[in-house]
Structure 1
Amino acid sequence: MNTYEIIAKRICRLCGERGITPNQLSAAAAVPKSTIKGILNGESRNPDIATIKKLCDGFGITLGEFFSDPEFEQKTK
């Protein structure tokens, strides 16, 4: 699994944990729905850190919490 797929999977998991849809995340994070859709569908192969930070703000977590997922840690090995 590549990094972009892990990012998409993490976003989906966080949405599920919080009981929100990607559209609700879009509103909470002030990120266009099309941007989130592109990330989740693998169309956006390079989401920038500013976008991920906004998504983290929408989830109410830090960047560190977002990237402290075991899948990211396994990717570095």
Structure 2
Amino acid sequence: MELNEAIIERMKELAAEHNMTIHQVIQKGGLNQATISELMSGRTKHPKVSTIQKFCDGLNIGLNEFFDNKRFN
């Protein structure tokens, strides 16, 4: 699995765990819809750490929790 695929899957997983949609998370985190659309569609292969941080902000979690998953070992 490529890194961007792992990130997408983790975003979906965490949103579901928090009973939120991706759209709700990015709104709460202050992310641009276009940024997430580019990532989810595979057009962005290397998301910025700041993008992942804002996603985490929308869930009130830290980057360490985001990456604490077997996909990133």
Fold similarity call, TM over 0.5: yes
- How many aligned positions are there? 73
Letter in 1 for 2:52: I
Deviation of 1:3 after TM superposition, in Å, equals 0.5
Taking structure 2 as the reference length, what is the TM-score of the superposition?
0.92
Letter in 2 for 1:43: R
The structure with the largest alpha-carbon Rg is 1
Please say if 1:72 is aligned against 2:65: no
SS across alignment from 1:27: helix
8 A Cα contact 2:26 2:54, kept in partner: no
8 A Cα contact 1:22 1:33, kept in partner: no
Letter in 2 for 1:34: A
Percentage of matched positions with identical amino acids: 33
Q: Note the alpha carbon deviations across 1:1-44, whole angstroms, 9 max, x for none.
A: 11010000000001111111111112111001111122122121
Please say if 1:32 is aligned against 2:32: yes
SS across alignment from 1:24: helix
Unpaired runs of at least 5, structure 2: none
Unpaired runs of at least 5, structure 1: none
Distance (whole Å) between structure 1 residues aligned to residue 39 and residue 19 of structure 2 = 19
Letter in 1 for 2:11: I
Letter in 2 for 1:61: I
